[in-house]
Each structure stands twice: as C-alpha cells, then as structure tokens.
Structure 1
C-alpha cells in the first residue's frame, strides 16, 4: 500500500474516499495489499483528489509485493538451519 500513501496520507482518508469502514482499510494495510476488485474505485478516488493512478501502477505495486520476501516466517524457509546442522 506504500505506493498510494502520497494520495491518501491516512487510512481514514482512503476509507472515506472509498466509502469503506476504517477497519477494512486497516486490514488491507496489515496484509500489505488491496484486493484487485477495488482497482477502479481507487483510480476514480485518486482522480477526484487530482492524482494520477493507473491499472499499470497498481499492477506494478502488486508485482513488487509478490516478489518481496514474506513478512511472516513459518519455519519453512530453505535458509532455516536445523538444530542438528548447527552443531
């Protein structure tokens, strides 16, 4: 969601512009992504704020997020060292 903070400096601003509850936007922030079904709403809301946001911008942001390492390590990383290997 970092790619849109210049348009909506607060989650409350984004929630208000999209007509969504603050808790919904907070969940998006926690996940680090906005569901694609809101792309056109985001584009229209950005335009209403005088900003340019395109499907290409949103797709690039999703690609960057998908390429980034996971924020949660569930112990399945190939880089994890087993206790036996550490000895």
Structure 2
C-alpha cells in the first residue's frame, strides 16, 4: 500500500477521534482498512510460506507442512482424550 493511502487512513483515524466522520468518510476509512489488512495478510502469508522449521532430528521442513502436521497431531491427541473421557466416566 502506498504512503498516501496510509496517510489518509491516519488522517481519517485522527478526525474520527476529534470531530467524527460523516458516512462517506466512514465508508472510505473502512475500505482503506480492508485493503490494508488484505495486503498485510498476503505479505505475512508469503513470509510464512518461505519460512522453514527445524525439527528435533535436525530436518528443515516448510512452515506450512509443519503447521499442518502439528494441527493433525493436536486433533489426534484431542480425539484420544475425548475417547478416554467417555470410557472413564462412572455410570450412575
């Protein structure tokens, strides 16, 4: 996002705090914020996609693969604990 748009976001934020915004300015601010957040998320995702995680055995794997396997492992553990909870529940 170019500096003029960021400056406009900041100007609208300052005006919102001091005097308030009309409907057009509120819509403009919301659109600019949405655009800014979309660009920041895309930039962050690109950064994560180029990041590697070193495992305990020294192997380097892409972050996306690491996150996927970590999520699967967490789901497996949660499912295992959910099954144990039902089996150990006393019957009335």
- More contact order relative to length (CA 8 Å, sep ≥ 6): 1
TM-score by length of 2: 0.30
Q: Which has the larger radius of gyration?
A: 2
Bigger proportion of residues as helix: 2
Q: What TM-score do the two structures reach when normalised by structure 1? A: 0.31
Which structure carries more strand by proportion? 2
